[in-house]
Amino acid sequence: MDRADVVIAQNGDQFDVKFIQARMFFWKLPPPSPFSTVDTLKVTHKKFKLLSHKQGDVSKYRGHKGKLETNLQLWIDCYYGKEKALAYMKKYNVRDVMGLEENYKDLLPWISNHPNLAVYGNKPLCPKCQSPRLQSFGWKYNNTTKYRRLRCQDCKGWARGNHNQQEYKPLISI
């Protein structure tokens, strides 16, 4: 986690990150350096009313392969080092990681609080996928500011320009 700017996981905020940090605490390791997270489970709960928000079910919903099946006996066999179980578990883990990546890419335009990846470049980039292919679609207005509204042509996510385009016009001239 010390080398990650962003950690992406399914239910990572409630399970993976806390589990890893608990083990670090147990072994008297210092806390990891600060990092951001994208929790795909939180995204699907916030944005969609699905029958199931499990990673494998979301993956199948989007037309991907989904997860491989596991059972308690597989985990027990892995614990005892049985080669066949370990080989299957490796396939399961590879599919699990690939499914997470597929779901993350599918969810990317829907993630409104995604960490801004554009800060890693030195030219205008999509804050979600770092693509330079941004197209202007009107304006984003706030109480006192006006920004270009941008859509990424690669991930289809929305962003806004960096510079306030609102001209200051005093109400009374002196």
Pairing between strand 6-9 and 36-39?
A: parallel
171: number of Cβ within 10 Å: 4
From the number of C-beta atoms within 10 Å of its C-beta (0-12, 13-18, 19+), residue 126 rates as buried
Return phi, psi of residue 157, to 5°.
-80, 160
Given CA atoms 150, 152, 156, 161 in this order, what sign does their dihedral have?
negative
Residue span of the structural domain in which 124 resides: 117-160
Q: Are residues 17 and 102 in the same domain?
A: yes
Average pLDDT over residues 100-127: 91
Residue 72: what pLDDT? 97
- For residue 68, tell me if it sits in a domain: yes
pLDDT at residue 114 tops 80: yes
- For residue 53, tell me if it sits in a domain: yes
Q: Are residues 86 and 122 in the same domain?
A: no
Angle 66-67-72 (CA atoms, 0-180°, nearest 5)?
A: 155
- For residue 148, tell me if it sits in a domain: yes
Q: Residues 11-64: pLDDT tens digits?
A: 999 999 999 999 999 999 999 999 999 999 999 999 999 999 999 999 999 999
Pairing between strand 146-152 and 134-141?
A: antiparallel
pLDDT at residue 170 tops 80: no
DSSP of 114-171:
---GGGGSSS---TTT--S-EEEEEEEE-SS-EEEEEEETTT--EEE-SS--PPP--S
Domain with residue 53: its CATH number is 3.30.420.10
Average pLDDT over residues 138-160: 89
Q: Are residues 82 and 154 in the same domain?
A: no
In this prediction the pTM is 0.83
- For residue 169, tell me if it sits in a domain: no
Q: Are residues 99 and 137 in the same domain?
A: no
